[in-house]
């Protein structure tokens, strides 16, 4: 894979990008690099958000550098702190907080970005320089061939007839953490910061889980028949369900779910800050937000995005569903995340 402005090589795959990338000379001064999620996300985001920006701004070359997860993006920014080679970074909001605290991001201000006035309040978090760019929600994945009738409640995961047929990623993955918070409310918890009931519920479920580490992912486990129920993210679930030929479906249970927030950050020290700002402004625009919601069913952060009723109905952003969403402050979750992970190691994974 050849990337203008730098050759990443095999070291990138291990997150060992401590050596500065090589920048070509002034001929490519309008080149920027966007670090964002790889795989199916990259395939779709590049097509409907990045590529239209390239066409509208032929003087700005955007290189999409795919990263497997937010933590690796943060590690790359840390390694490049003295000589940044990434200009815009996408990661979840808790990683955005860490990057801000470590001085890796410049502020994104309303003075420079008028589009911020159109974003939902939950796109912002105090003390975080990155700003929300997509919302996604935890989703119940199932096999329409084997799970009948179609499930409407998270409680189906605890139905004995699906014992040994369930897959999901364990904590510290955000899926495992999010499912614990959902289970906490499902089984009587009133405050997600006191997650004892959620841990107990997941401990009870553990002996019936086929895999806490499905490879390549939970969506594939259901599609190929290895599992019949799983937990994942709605956007990917909706997209994969449309590609699976009836092997996979994604449900938004009646008890509600929780949102996960992906953010965009302006990397501190970017040599192409103006071009990077132009990209961020476009990515937050109604046009770009609507395009990605239609393509991959991420709920838009821009309240003026003209998303069709059909696409919106596949997200948790409809008014009826929004009323049932668990309001989670992910920065608060970050404060007790280590304690929750320890409970997973001691009380949940040991029972699997």
Which CATH number do you get for residue 347? 3.40.190.10
Q: How far lies 316's CA from each of 294, 298, 303, in Å?
A: 14, 9, 14
At residue 57, the pLDDT reads 96
Q: What is the mean pLDDT of residues 232-245?
A: 94
Return the residue matching tokens 């495992």: 176
Q: What is the pLDDT of residue 27?
A: 42
Residue 5 pLDDT exceeds 80 = no
User: Confidence class of residue 316 from pLDDT cuts 50, 70 and 90?
Assistant: confident
**211-239 average pLDDT score:** 96
161 and 245, same structural domain?
A: yes
pLDDT digit string, tens, across residues 53-68: 999 999 999 999 999 9
Q: Is the pLDDT of residue 318 over 80?
A: no
Q: Residues 345, 247: one domain?
A: yes
pLDDT of residue 321: 82
Is 13 within the bounds of a domain? no
Structural domain boundaries enclosing 311: 21-135+259-315
Report, in this order, helix, strand and coil percent for the chain, each rounded to 5.
Answer: 45, 15, 40
Counted domains in the chain = 2
Return the pLDDT at 2. Answer: 37
pTM over the 0.85 mark: no
At residue 286, the pLDDT reads: 98
**Cα(49)–Cα(287) distance, rounded to whole angstroms?**
9
Q: Are residues 117 and 54 in the same domain?
A: yes
Average pLDDT over residues 18-32: 53
Position 222 scores a pLDDT of 98
């Amino acid at each position: 894979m050849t990337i203008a402005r730098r050759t990443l090589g095999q070291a990138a795959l291990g997150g060992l990008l401590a050596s500065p990338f090589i920048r070509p000379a002034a001929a490519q001064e309008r080149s920027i690099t966007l670090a964002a999620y790889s795989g199916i996300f990259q395939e779709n985001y590049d097509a409907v958000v990045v590529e239209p920006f390239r066409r509208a701004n032929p003087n700005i070359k955007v290189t999409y550098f795919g990263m497997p997860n937010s933590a690796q993006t943060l590690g790359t920014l840390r390694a490049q702190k003295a000589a940044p080679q990434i200009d815009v970074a996408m990661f979840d909001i808790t990683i955005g907080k860490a990057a801000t605290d470590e001085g890796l991001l410049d502020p994104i201000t309303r003075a420079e970005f008028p589009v911020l006035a159109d974003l939902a309040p939950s796109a912002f978090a105090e003390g975080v320089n990155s700003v929300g760019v997509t919302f996604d929600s935890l989703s119940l994945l199932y096999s329409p061939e084997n799970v009948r009738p179609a499930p409407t409640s998270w409680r189906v995961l605890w139905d004995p007839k699906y014992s040994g047929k369930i897959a999901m990623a364990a904590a510290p993955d955000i899926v495992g953490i999010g499912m614990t918070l959902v289970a906490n409310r499902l089984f009587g918890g009133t405050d997600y910061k006191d997650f004892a009931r959620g841990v107990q519920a997941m401990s009870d479920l553990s002996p019936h889980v086929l895999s806490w580490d499905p490879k390549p992912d939970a969506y594939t486990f259901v599609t190929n028949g290895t599992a019949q129920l799983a937990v994942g993210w709605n956007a990917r679930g909706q997209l994969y369900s449309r590609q699976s030929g009836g092997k996979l479906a994604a449900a938004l249970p009646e008890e509600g779910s929780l949102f996960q927030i992906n953010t965009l950050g302006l990397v501190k020290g970017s040599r192409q800050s103006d071009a990077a700002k132009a990209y961020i402004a476009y990515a937050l625009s109604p046009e770009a937000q609507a395009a990605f919601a239609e393509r991959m069913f991420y709920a838009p952060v821009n309240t003026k995005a003209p998303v069709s009723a059909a696409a919106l109905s596949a997200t948790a952003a409809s008014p009826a569903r929004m009323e049932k969403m668990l309001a989670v402050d992910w920065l608060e979750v970050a404060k007790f995340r280590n304690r929750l992970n320890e409970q997973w190691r001691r009380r949940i994974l040991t029972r699997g």
